[in-house]
């Protein structure tokens, strides 16, 4: 059954207008609220026309096993902004219900392909696949959090960028948000030709705040991080906390990796381990393996161990 469900979540009841349906496709008109895909009879494709802003969250839930496509017709003007173009994040929204405040959320056993659109200012993640089997394939997308005139960055600093299940990828895209940009939590994730602006509160690549025993990042093409502030809570690659020994993270640098600094801004550490100020959050008994033909080595000058963090870091043969 094709359906859109009104939902209160944490933001109050929202209304829905009539949808335009063409077979298995929902072409956006004036929808608000939450679009739910929860079985294989629901929409196969959601299209955001050029010049249209979708003021609704999209959720692809556990009942779905068929693949889903979410695409815009114009990367700049096909926009998903369920919280408004300058909406504030929900720092106190926790657990699954909090994650569902994302622009696009999935806990399905399926692949979700997302392309040619812009995500703006959700209350939580921009794009999140929340299980191993929720594979998010993102290409040609802008992930932006913007601060309205007179607002404060502290009202936006719990808005994360991208995370997904095993085999997820983000390509040919830009992330500029105020929490972690890419969550490296699953067995394999690929980034390719990705540009990330490194703002104060988040890590461009976050290895974890506890849990997730093994994760690997593959970096292809040309990936760039631009330091965009004067101080940083995390390095380009951050690992805040381990809650048990034996956790492993791997980074396979297959292409060029640039660490640049915006004009007038300050360079961050490349690697940080542990929290900047909370002594309870540290990394111990873990391993980080860095390798690949374009590997960026961890050195005493680009790496910060915080709160007594201690782990085994191996630099591969081609690391420099």
pLDDT tens figures, 24-75:
999 998 899 999 999 999 999 999 999 999 999 999 999 999 999 999 999 9
- Paired tokens of 108: 């399905």
Whether residue 15 is predicted with pLDDT greater than 50 in this model: the reply is: no
| Rounded to 5°, angle at Cα 35 from 34 and 38 | 120
Non-local (6+) Cβ contacts of 114 within 8 A are 70, 71, 104, 127, 136, 137, 138, 139, 141
Assign 18 to helix, strand or coil. Answer: coil
Other CB atoms closer than 10 Å to residue 29's CB: what's the count? 12
Confidence of residue 4 (pLDDT cuts 50, 70, 90): low
Confidence of residue 2 (pLDDT cuts 50, 70, 90): low
pLDDT tens figures, 214-266:
999 999 999 999 999 999 999 999 999 998 999 999 999 999 999 999 999 99
Q: What's the pLDDT score for residue 254?
A: 98
Whether residue 22 is predicted with pLDDT greater than 70 in this model: the reply is: no
For residues 243 and 54, what is the distance between their CA atoms, to the nearest angstrom?
39
Confidence of residue 3 (pLDDT cuts 50, 70, 90): low
Alpha-carbon torsion angle 194, 198, 204, 210, nearest 10: -170
């Amino acid at each position: 059954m094709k359906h859109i469900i009104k939902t209160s979540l944490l933001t109050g009841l929202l209304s829905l207008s009539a949808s335009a349906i063409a077979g298995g496709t929902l072409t956006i008109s004036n929808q608000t609220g939450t679009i739910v895909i929860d079985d294989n009879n629901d929409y196969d494709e959601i299209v955001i026309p050029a010049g249209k802003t979708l003021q609704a969250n999209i959720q692809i839930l556990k009942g779905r096993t068929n693949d889903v496509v979410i695409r815009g017709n114009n990367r700049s003007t096909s926009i998903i902004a369920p919280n408004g173009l300058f909406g504030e994040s929900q720092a106190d929204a926790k657990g699954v219900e909090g994650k569902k405040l994302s622009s696009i959320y999935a806990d399905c056993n399926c692949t979700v392909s997302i392309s040619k659109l812009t995500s703006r200012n959700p209350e939580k993640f921009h794009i999140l696949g929340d299980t191993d089997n929720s594979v998010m394939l993102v290409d040609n997308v802008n992930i932006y959090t913007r601060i309205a005139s007179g607002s404060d960055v502290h009202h936006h600093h719990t808005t994360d960028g991208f995370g997904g299940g095993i085999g997820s990828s983000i390509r040919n895209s830009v992330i500029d948000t105020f929490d972690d940009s890419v969550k490296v939590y699953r067995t394999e994730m690929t980034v390719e030709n990705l540009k990330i602006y490194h703002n104060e509160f988040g890590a461009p690549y976050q290895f974890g705040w506890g849990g997730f025993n093994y994760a690997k990042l593959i970096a292809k093409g040309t990936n760039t991080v631009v330091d965009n502030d004067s101080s940083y809570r995390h390095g380009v690659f951050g690992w805040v906390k381990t809650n048990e020994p034996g956790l492993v993270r791997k980074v396979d640098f297959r292409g060029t990796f640039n660490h640049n600094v915006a004009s007038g801004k300050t360079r961050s550490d490349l690697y940080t381990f542990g929290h900047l100020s909370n002594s309870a959050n540290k990394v111990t008994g873990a391993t980080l393996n860095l390798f690949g033909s374009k590997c960026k080595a961890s050195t005493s000058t680009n790496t910060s161990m915080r709160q007594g963090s201690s782990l085994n870091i191996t630099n591969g043969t081609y690391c420099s």
